[in-house]
Amino acid sequence: MSVFKVGKATLTRIEETYLAVYPPKDIFPELTDALFNEHGHWLAPNHYDPETNKIKLSVHSWLLQLDGHKILIDGCCGNQKSRPQRPFWNMLNTPWLDRLAAAGARPGEIDLVMCTHLHHDHVGWNTQLRDGKWVPTFPNARYVFSKLDFDYFQKLDSDPANEPTEFGSFRECVVPVVEAGRADLVTGPHRLNEFIEILPAGGHSPGHFYFRLNVDGNRGMITGDVFHHLLQVFYPYWNFPKNSDAVEARVSRRRVFDEAAASGSMVFPGHVGAPFAGYIEKTGSSYRPRF
Ligand SMILES: [Zn+2]
């Protein structure tokens, strides 16, 4: 289990999957053989699998324990979710809930669920199937969703050309939470409490957030899908596929990297491989990961 401290806050990675999934050049067409060789020494085995020639991506949540509160950040794909378009994450049956309990939180103990954005791999555990109905997994939690994302995906989901949006996850994992009266639709920037701020970093999705943590001067940033792979720290221009606005995604990435480097924040991304969290340093016009 990967456990990190930001001052008195504890952040624990709750793994759902950690797999070799995509050929690198399918994801990053800018990746030349020369660049690949230049980075070969650190890519394998945590960020690239030489046997399958695929990059490795983790799908995980972060459990933030702070001041007696248990906050779940991002909800992975979830179990029993039919995603035939995403074979790696189709009809999963992982012990994610057991891992969450081992990290110190049973579902009833989660106070708050915060989604960086509303893509299918960040909302899955929001709900569980009970008696044929999708119901909130965390009965005592408020759920923080991006209002901009909610409006965007609601519109897509009501369009016959696009529905059901996000492989059905909007209907299964977001709408039932709103209908149960448990969701707070938030527009950033927004201060959640004395330790946590919600900031916009759109582009991967329109209302994508990152969460800024300041615990008595100790700083962390939970960055969702602002970047997916450490190669993008060296090459912030490289987008991961699937963005609502590719130009905005690049601007947001540089802005988040600049803040991380200037503030010395520990960065907690949504999909980067082991060791899963670390620091970003500025190098002239670019950046370097210290993970
Ligand atoms: Zn994601």
- 270 C-alpha to center of ligand 1: Å? 6
Average of per-residue pLDDT across 79-88: 88
Beta carbons of 218 and 226 less than 8 angstroms apart: no
Q: Quick check: 253 pLDDT over 90?
A: yes
Residue 151 belongs to what H/E stretch? helix 147-157
Tell me the pTM.
0.97
The whole-number pLDDT of residue 58 equals 98
* Residues at Cβ < 5 Å from ligand 1 ion: 121, 225
In tens, the pLDDT along 18-37 reads 999 999 999 999 999 999 99
In tens, the pLDDT along 105-134 reads 999 999 999 999 999 999 999 999 999 999
Percent of the chain with pLDDT over 90: 94
- 170 C-alpha to center of ligand 1: Å? 14
Q: Quick check: 197 pLDDT over 90?
A: yes
- 283 C-alpha to center of ligand 1: Å? 27
The whole-number pLDDT of residue 89 equals 84
Q: Quick check: 87 pLDDT over 90?
A: no
DSSP-derived pairing of the beta strands 69-73 and 54-66? antiparallel
Distance, CA of 89 to CA of 168 (rounded, Å): 13
Average of per-residue pLDDT across 254-265: 98
Distance, CA of 93 to CA of 76 (rounded, Å): 12
- 74 C-alpha to center of ligand 1: Å? 9
Which residues lie closer than 8 Å to 221 by C-beta, 6 or more apart? 210, 211, 212, 213, 256, 259, 260, 263, 265, 266, 267, 268
